[in-house]
Amino acid sequence: MSEFNNVTVTRAANVYFDGKVTSRKVTFEDGSFKTLGIMMPGDYTFGTNEHELMEITAGECEILLAGAQQWLPIKGGESFEVPANSSFDVKAKTIIDYCCSYIA
């Protein structure tokens, strides 16, 4: 989907890592939500409360899931999942445009 229809968007951004990572919350009619975010180039560690689907809309990064041995290259058009109550590292080689879905 190139756009999300009939949604609610929260005006204020979520700001992490001194603004190097920011996102906007998009809430759907069924109460589920996604965040649309931007990462500036850099290294980040994110924790998860829920099972997440991270779709990379544009950019190039490498990711390392908690417990994994190997960094995985991920680029625009690709995605990865992260279990709940876990974490993952990202090396953003370019600016990253992403969509994160929270899967119950």
For the chain, give the longest Cα–Cα distance.
41
Binding mask 59-98 for a copy of itself (x = CB under 8 A): ------------------------------------x-x-
Q: What's the rounded Cα separation, in Å, for the pair 59 and 61? A: 7
Sort residue 93 into left (φ over 0), alpha (ψ -120 to 50) or beta: alpha
Distance of alpha carbon 31 from alpha carbon 81, whole angstroms: 21
Binding of a copy of itself at residue 7 (CB under 8 A)?
yes
CB of 5 to a copy of itself, least distance (A): 5
Tokens of 72: 């995985």
* Contact characters 20-59, a copy of itself, x per CB under 8 A: x-x-x-xx--------x-x-x----------------xx-
- Kindly list the residues in this chain that would bind a copy of itself in the complex (CB under 8 A): 1-13, 15, 18-20, 22, 24, 26-27, 36, 38, 40, 57-58, 95, 97, 99
